[in-house]
Amino acid sequence: MREVFLPRSLDEVWDLLDRHPGAAPYAGGTDLLVAIAEGKKSPPALLCLERVDTLARVEDRGDHLYLGAAATYSRLLDSPLVRRELPLLCRAMRTVGSPPVRHMGTLGGNVATASPAGDTLPPLYVLGAEVELGTRASRRRLPVGDFVVGPGATRLGPGELLLGVAVPKAAGFGLPHHEKVGRRKALACAVASLAALLDLAEDGTVRRARLAWGSVGPTVVRVPEVEAALAGRRPTRELLASLAPEVERAVAPIDDVRASAAYRRVVSGLLLERLSLLGPAA
């Protein structure tokens, strides 16, 4: 029989971790509980964080929003502040699972699971998000791209918890875009996805571009060469098509039950081409 603990404060959390260092923390459990049921994980105890209010808060901190790790997708999507300041992240969160999954699943869980197909990771990469990690005695921050080091692997240290995510406001980026390709239109794990932020000048040329692909490598894939090539140019279909081979070379997909590596490469390039539909270049 596995013990389940339900702390109501961070102090209780640290006390429980001191007494049960092998306990697995979770909030919604949409990833962890499935892994336990499938026999992929077997922690000696479970530490449910869903009643720790300080881990579910949403705060405006001037140039960024602080999103508690235990904030559910539904809570974030219901927040006028999050919808106003982080439309790109909201677009990605709306594609997660189903309404029941979004009521249970949390942003912190999606980040800490570190799945290459994690729906919120590409938006967090292009937004320049940082994770806050902590113990009873210390706090530290890491860019999300440094925190995630491989499939299911992070830089979370012994005794540390993922406490929250600091997400800069996307000032100046007028065209947030997220597109996810799956085997069906709902309840789909991404075959490939693209998160993009474009800052267009009045003449339709790109001032700045940030692009990140999901589910096509061991971690989220950025292609700085393509971002740089877009600067000062209109994102026409012809230009984007000419850059698609660069994306196809940069990604490192695998074959699995959802799609072949070759298919994912092609889709990655096509997702870039579809950016031509967003702005004045269309």
CA distance 172 to 59: 21
147 and 62 in a common domain: yes
In Å, what is the CA distance from 84 to each residue of 45, 87, 120, 145, 164?
39, 6, 17, 24, 19
Boundary residue ending a domain (168, 192, 214): 168
Residue 138, phi then psi, degrees to nearest 5: -150, 160
Q: What percentage of residues in the chain have a pLDDT greater than 70?
A: 98
CA distance 194 to 91: 11
Domain range spanning residue 257? 175-277
Q: What is the CATH number of the domain that holds 258?
A: 3.30.390.50
259 and 158 in a common domain: no
Establish if 234 belongs to a structural domain. Answer: yes
Establish if 30 belongs to a structural domain. Answer: no
Our CA dihedral for 133, 135, 140, 145, rounded to 10 degrees, sits at -30
User: What is the model's pTM?
Assistant: 0.94
Q: What pLDDT is stored for residue 187 in this prediction? A: 74
241 and 272 in a common domain: yes
CA distance 85 to 210: 17
Our CA dihedral for 163, 104, 48, 38, rounded to 10 degrees, sits at -110
The pair of structure tokens assigned to 248 is 């196809």
The model's pLDDT over 155-208, given as tens digits with 9 standing for 90+, comes to: 999 889 999 999 999 888 988 999 999 887 677 789 999 999 999 999 999 999
Asked if 263 and 238 touch (Cβ cutoff 8 Å), the reply is no
Sign of the torsion formed by the C-alpha atoms of 17, 38, 27 and 61: positive
Asked if 47 and 25 touch (Cβ cutoff 8 Å), the reply is yes
199 and 253 in a common domain: yes
Boundary residue ending a domain (168, 198, 231): 168
87 and 160 in a common domain: yes
Establish if 115 belongs to a structural domain. Answer: yes
In this prediction, residues 38-46 reach a mean pLDDT of 92
Establish if 24 belongs to a structural domain. Answer: no
CA distance 68 to 264: 33
In this prediction, residues 28-32 reach a mean pLDDT of 88
Q: What is the CATH number of the domain that holds 164?
A: 3.30.465.10
Domain count, the chain: 2
Establish if 70 belongs to a structural domain. Answer: yes
213 and 150 in a common domain: no
CA distance 60 to 80: 11
Boundary residue ending a domain (168, 190, 220): 168
The model's pLDDT over 47-89, given as tens digits with 9 standing for 90+, comes to: 999 999 999 999 999 999 999 999 999 999 999 999 999 999 9
Q: What pLDDT is stored for residue 282 in this prediction? A: 37
Sign of the torsion formed by the C-alpha atoms of 60, 66, 67 and 68: negative
